[in-house]
């Protein structure tokens, strides 16, 4: 019974969270100097309706099954990711003994979905976008896994519910001050959002999505915000104490924390320039990876 309730809650969070990202992104854009684009609350829905009614185009000799399946696959990965997030000690879809490892596998499989999306269109710019994500994806995954191992240490478990329970006294964001900032930067990369949007970037006229239109593009855009929501769920669980909090019920606390993470990511996406890919590699391997080791050592010493 609880699992069903949690499943409903998860789908609700995907839908509402995705919509919230779209609205927040427009509101932030308006505040950052974009011209008024109509009602920010209606615009995402109207845009969805437009994409739904548009034809799905084809390119010359695409790999059609892979091209159409990649957005759906990416959406499925996002949904799986959010299914790992516990809404309360008992309200969780899948509280696996190896939840953290599954999240790592989802990050790895997302690389495959994004590459396929770019590759199967059979067009040069989309292909470069796919290449780029693969070239950078490994470094994102490494940093994110090291940071998550740091979170797992005090919990002595790979279960996300145990990770939250271990933050009863002190949230990980305080206990491991390097963790959340590192995880958020890497999250921008994993969801290729804002400054780290190198796969679907402007210089590639939309990158992996540059040749897609109509319903497949709608699914891809939904999947992208869904992945952002799933990521914010994991970030809130791992660092911000998940359902923990006074007065309000647990699920509400988690929703608020996820919203805070989403707002932070959307804001970063609008105020920073896109990082040059080469600089991004340097940042990941020379700055963030050593910092994640420091974070891991910190967590280890603290757990002793």
Partner 1 sequence: MQTSLFADAIFWVLAALAVFSGWRVFRTDSMVRASFFLLASFIAVGAIMLLLAAVYLGLAMLFMMAVEMMVMALFMVMFMMNPAGLNPMVMVHQHRLSIVAGGLAFAVLGALALFVEFPDRPLPAGLDPVASLGREMLGDSMLVFESAGIVLLATMIGVVVMSSHRGRFGAADQGSLPPGLEPGGVPAGPQPDAEGSGGHHHHCH
Partner 2 sequence: MAVSWLGRLAARAPVPVYPLLGIGGERALYPLALAGRVTRVDSPRHASVLLVAGHVPVHHHEALKRVHDQLPRPFATLWFRSQPLPGLENARRVDDPATLTDELVALHRELQTGQRGSSPRLLPDEPPNPWEGLGDDGHGGEGMMGGTPYGRPMAMNMQDDIRDGLTLDSLTFRLGPFYPLLPPGLAAEITLQGDVIQSWTNQSPAYPRALDAVFQTARERPVAIAELELARARHHLRHLYRALRLAGLEGLGLKALRLARELTPASHLDGLRRQLTRAGFFRLAALDGGALDAETARRLGGPAARAAGIDTDRRSDDAHYRRLGFRPALGRGGDTRARWHQKLAEIEQSLALAGRAVDEGDLTTVGPGGLETPCGPWRERPAQDAGGCLEALLPGMEWDSALATIASLDLAEGSASPPPGEAHAEEPQ
Task: Draw the binding track, 107-146, toward partner 2 (x: CB under 8 A; -: no contact).
Answer: -----------------x--xx--xx--x-----------
In whole angstroms, give the CA distance from residue 171 to residue 33: 36
Closest CA to 113 of 34, 208, 24: 208
Does 224 interact with partner 2 (rule: CB under 8 A)? no
| Stretch touching partner 2 by CB under 8 A, among 5-13, 48-56, 141-149, 225-233 | 48-56
Tell me which stretch binds partner 2 (CB under 8 A): 53-61, 81-89, 157-165, 288-296.
53-61
Which residues, including other chains, have CB under 8 Å from residue 39's CB and lie 6 or more apart?
Answer: none
> From partner 1, partner 2, none, which one binds at residue 36 (CB under 5 to 8 Å depending on kind)?
partner 2
Figure out which of the listed residues 214, 244, 264, 289 binds partner 2, where binding follows CB under 8 A: 214
Minimum CB distance to partner 2 smaller for 32 or for 256: 32
Binding mask 250-289 for partner 2 (x = CB under 8 A): --------------------xxxxxxxxxx----------
The Cα 248–Cα 242 span in angstroms is 13
Q: Which of 12, 58, 108, 272 is in the footprint of partner 1 by CB under 8 A?
A: 108
Binding site for partner 1 (CB under 8 A): 61, 63, 66, 96-98, 101-102, 104-105, 107-109, 111-112, 115-116, 119, 122, 124, 127, 131, 134, 137-138, 141-142, 158, 278, 281-282, 285, 289
């Amino acid at each position: 019974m609880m699992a069903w309730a949690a499943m409903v809650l998860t789908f609700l969070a995907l839908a509402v969270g995705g919509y919230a990202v779209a609205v927040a992104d427009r509101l932030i854009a308006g505040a950052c100097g974009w011209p008024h684009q109509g009602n920010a609350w209606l615009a995402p829905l109207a845009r969805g309706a437009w994409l739904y009614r548009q034809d799905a185009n084809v390119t010359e000799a695409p790999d059609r099954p892979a091209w159409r399946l990649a957005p759906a696959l990416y959406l499925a990965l996002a949904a799986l990711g959010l299914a790992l997030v516990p809404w309360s000690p008992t309200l969780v879809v899948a509280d696996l003994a190896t939840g953290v490892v599954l999240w790592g596998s989802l990050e790895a499989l997302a690389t495959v979905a994004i590459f396929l999306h770019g590759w199967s269109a059979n067009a040069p710019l989309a292909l470069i976008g796919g290449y780029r994500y693969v070239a950078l994806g490994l470094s994102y995954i490494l940093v994110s896994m090291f940071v998550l191992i740091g979170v797992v240490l005090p919990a002595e478990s790979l279960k996300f519910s145990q990770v939250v329970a271990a933050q009863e006294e002190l949230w990980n964001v305080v206990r491991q001050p390097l963790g959340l900032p590192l995880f958020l930067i890497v999250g921008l990369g994993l969801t290729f959002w804002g400054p780290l949007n190198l796969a679907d970037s402007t210089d590639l006229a939309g990158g992996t999505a540059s040749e897609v239109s109509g319903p497949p593009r709608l699914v891809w855009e939904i999947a992208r915000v869904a992945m952002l929501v799933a990521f914010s769920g994991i970030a809130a669980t791992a660092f911000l104490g998940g359902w923990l909090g006074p007065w309000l019920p647990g699920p509400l606390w988690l929703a608020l924390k996820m919203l805070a993470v989403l707002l932070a990511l959307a804001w970063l996406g609008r105020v920073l320039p896109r990082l040059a890919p080469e600089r991004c590699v340097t940042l990941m391997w020379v700055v963030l990876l050593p910092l994640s080791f420091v974070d891991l050592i910190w967590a280890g010493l603290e757990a002793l």
